[in-house]
Structure 1
């Protein structure tokens, strides 16, 4: 079975700390604790992982982001990716090649990912049972330290 991990981006970005940072690869842009923990988890358990951004869609680690932005799923914004744009990226970035998408995001990610899936695919949401970001951070940290993946949650 071919799997990919989808991780959330995060509101805190490199330009919040260093306004002169200029264009950066996606893997260096996002600084929030949840993003850092999900990235660590993704790198521990998956050879393939992507960052999901409301403005840029599906980002590979080396995709370049040119400037700061404040766009989030679940909050209407003119620059938010449409379902059509995300669907187009889903094809362009070859996400159809995966049987399982492990999504390390909350409920709002389910509304974004599930409509993109094709019949041969399923998405699982290992963080779904956790009520609150503190519990999510703790679970991710423990999984990485013990090298034991979080149980699947559909």
Structure 2
């Protein structure tokens, strides 16, 4: 069976925005935006392997711990953005580099990163044709409700 990985974007709204007293938290519970939650529902529905891509921490597996709140985003000039060579090392260390297909749930800003780490031939972006977050959300929610993976119908 083909080994597939879904990568989802992290998101600005985090557990500490809702529960400031929360300490270190597993990655799967950190991100609170509607888009992240819809992406996670999609990943859990259609994939046995999934990871979150954080601009600060890189590839986070669901049970990885995020120590504290942060505000770092790809596409900004923030010096804390994780370097590409570190992302590639993480992919190897977390054994993500052996997958045959990578599906990235996110916008265009992730394309260069995913292609560099996994290769353009293995990567797909099922939300690339969406004109904004509202359309992305709708597409994800419909796919989960219908149990029909985007682009596989």
The two structures have a TM-score, normalised by structure 1, of 0.95
Ranges of 4+ aligned residues in structure 1 off by more than 2 Å: none
The separation in 2 between residues aligned to 1:6 and 1:100, in whole angstroms, is 11
RMSD, matched Cα? 1.2
Given that 1:96 and 1:118 are in contact with CA atoms closer than 8 Å, whether structure 2 keeps it comes out as no
The separation in 1 between residues aligned to 2:118 and 2:147, in whole angstroms, is 28
2:129: which partner in 1?
129
1:28: which partner in 2?
29
The separation in 2 between residues aligned to 1:67 and 1:96, in whole angstroms, is 27
| Structure 1 position 108 matched with structure 2 position 120 | no
2:143: which partner in 1?
143
Unaligned runs of 5+ in 1: none
The two structures have a TM-score, normalised by structure 2, of 0.95
Q: CA deviation at 1:116?
A: 1.2
1:86-97 paired onto structure 2 within 5 Å: 86-97=87-98
Q: CA deviation at 1:118?
A: 4.6
The separation in 2 between residues aligned to 1:23 and 1:96, in whole angstroms, is 27
Q: CA deviation at 1:90?
A: 1.2
Aligned length: 151
